[in-house]
Structure formats: C-alpha cells, structure tokens
Structure 1
C-alpha cells in the first residue's frame, strides 16, 4: 500500500508568537488549500497547536469533515528563550551543527526527532493520505531527514504556504515539492 503524507507550511501569518493569526492574504491562502487538495482523498489532518497552523487548515477540515488532530510535537522549534539580535546567523549555524543549542532552545537534532517521530507514526498508522501542517524551521529539518541536500538555503526559499509530498512505497521514502506559489 502506498502512503502519502502532505507536509504543509502554514499560510502567511501576522507574527511569530504561537497565538499569531493569519493575515488577510493568509486566510485567502487557506481557502486556496481547499482547492489544492480537492482531488486528494484525505484521511487525517494533524496540526501544530500554533494558531497560524490551525487556521491554515480549518477551511480544509470544514470541507472534508475531518477533525484537526493537534500534536504538540509539530510546534515550531524554539531557537532560544532569550532575545537573539543575530538570530539569522545563529539559525544558519544550527543547520551545520545539528547539536548546537542556545539558551532555553532545542538543537536541530532534537527538533528533527520530534517531527520525524510524528511522520513515522503516521506511516505506521492505517491512514493512507495525511496532511501535516507545521512551521518552516521544523519542516526544513524533517525534509533534511529524507533529503540530505535540503539545507539553510532551501529553508530560505520556502514559501507561505508550501506543500511537500512524502510517499512511502515498499518502505522507500520519496520526497517531492508539489506547491506552486505562483498559482495564488
């Protein structure tokens, strides 16, 4: 049996805090995701507890009548709990050193383990087609797990939203970007 997992980066949001809602453009993007997935027979929708992730798939859940499953492990990675004026350089460094950790934060390896565990559990479940909605940094770490060429530059090129498809066929994992940001 072929299993598909659609990895969705949330739509455009008003900020980074967990309670940040989608922008007006982001709300339109969320409605477009309904059309984007209109030909997919979905079984499950799992989201980060962050408001922007939930709002990104609410229209899809309403259309498909699938209840959102919230999974804390899909929360965005905490780089640090202290203000980092040079956060960009620090984030870049964590792509090169997976164990690098800043005050109150988690390493890339720790964050990657969280999201990979969710994906592996979905592959082992009975669901054939699952949508997982999360955040750019942690999604990048997941994609890096299945494609070692996925790096900091790839993270920089992610769009809001963005969609990747992970297929598992006879225990072989195939990763593909299926989102065309020029369509919306």
Structure 2
C-alpha cells in the first residue's frame, strides 16, 4: 500500500515565501530527520517556500534524496489585502468551500491543487513519499477526504506536524504521527 507522509513545516519567522525557520524550527527539522531515520522514503516533494524546504533538508541530506519542489503545495492565500478578522474569515472557508475573498483562493481551489499532487503520487511508481506543505493547505486536504477534520483541527496543528495518508481501494485513510489533536 502506497504511503504519503504529509508534513507541515517547522516553526518559521513569518508567513512570506522567503521566511526562514527560527532557531527552534531548525532544531525541529533535525528532530524530523531523526523521526524519519527508520522509514524507507523514496521521494520528497516540497512547497517551494523556504520554511518548507528547510524543514525537510536535514532528512533529505541524511538519506541522500533530492527535494523536488511543486508550486501546488504553497500555502493558500486567503486574501491579498489585510483582513482584521482573518481568523473568522478563515473559519468560514471551512464551511463554505467556494467562499473567496479579494485576491485570495477558495478552499475548493486550494484543495484541487493539492489533491492533484496526492493523486499523482498515489498513481505513481514510488511507495513512500514525503510531501511538505503548510497548515491551511494540509487541513483542507485532510478535510477533502474526511469531512470531520475542520477549522478546530487546523487550530490544533503543531509546527511541525506529520500525518500518514494511505490509499486503500480509493479510500484515503489518515493517521496523525506527530503531536495530538
């Protein structure tokens, strides 16, 4: 059975695409590498954002696997303008998947792009793949397969966080491997 290890990046200095990991985040990346040291990983695909790549770099170097980047794994843009009530607006997008704010992307649009990546991996050659992405996009993906994973579960994600996705006869199962919800 093919496995995807879905990782939310480690603690970062901010939200911009070039934001780097904090000192704590670098330590978390080393912990992730240690966590995965006994796993048989065939492929690593990451968001091109700096914090995502830095989160998986220690493991990639340890197991000598090149990190592939895929722009479909970038964080979802809620809006391109500052929203004072962004948290409430984000919460609404979990219940109304087609809701879209100025310059942003709807949950449906975000889900579509990450599901494309996941389906390509499940239909591809590799058995054990790591996908490194961002909290909101990760939550939207899990919600796509399991509707009971919503806004509250997103709020309870950690940096980093790790979920295992398995495709069992077109039924995608998930299990949290890092932290607890």
Q: TM range, normalised to the smaller chain?
A: over 0.9
Cα separation, partners in 2 of 1:171 and 1:96, compared to 1, 3 Å: closer
Q: Deviations over 1:12-62 (max 9, x none)?
A: 000011110000000000001111111110000000010000000000100
Deviation, 1:172, is 3.0
Unmatched 5+ residue regions in structure 2? none
Once residues 103 and 174 of structure 1 are traced to their aligned partners in structure 2, the CA distance between those partners, rounded to angstroms, is: 34
Q: Describe the SS at the equivalent of 2:33.
A: helix
Q: Describe the SS at the equivalent of 1:45.
A: strand
Counterpart check, 1:154 vs 2:153: yes
Q: How does 1:1-184 map to 2 (within 5 A)?
A: 2-180=1-179
Q: Describe the SS at the equivalent of 1:38.
A: helix
Deviation, 1:85, is 1.1
How many aligned residue pairs are there?
Answer: 180
Report runs of 4+ in structure 1 exceeding 4 Å deviation.
none
Say what the alpha-carbon RMSD is for the aligned residues.
Answer: 0.9
Once residues 166 and 91 of structure 2 are traced to their aligned partners in structure 1, the CA distance between those partners, rounded to angstroms, is: 28
Once residues 34 and 16 of structure 1 are traced to their aligned partners in structure 2, the CA distance between those partners, rounded to angstroms, is: 23
Q: Deviations over 1:80-123 (max 9, x none)?
A: 01111111111011111000000110000000111011000000
TM-score of the superposed pair, with normalisation by structure 1: 0.96
Deviation, 1:180, is 3.1
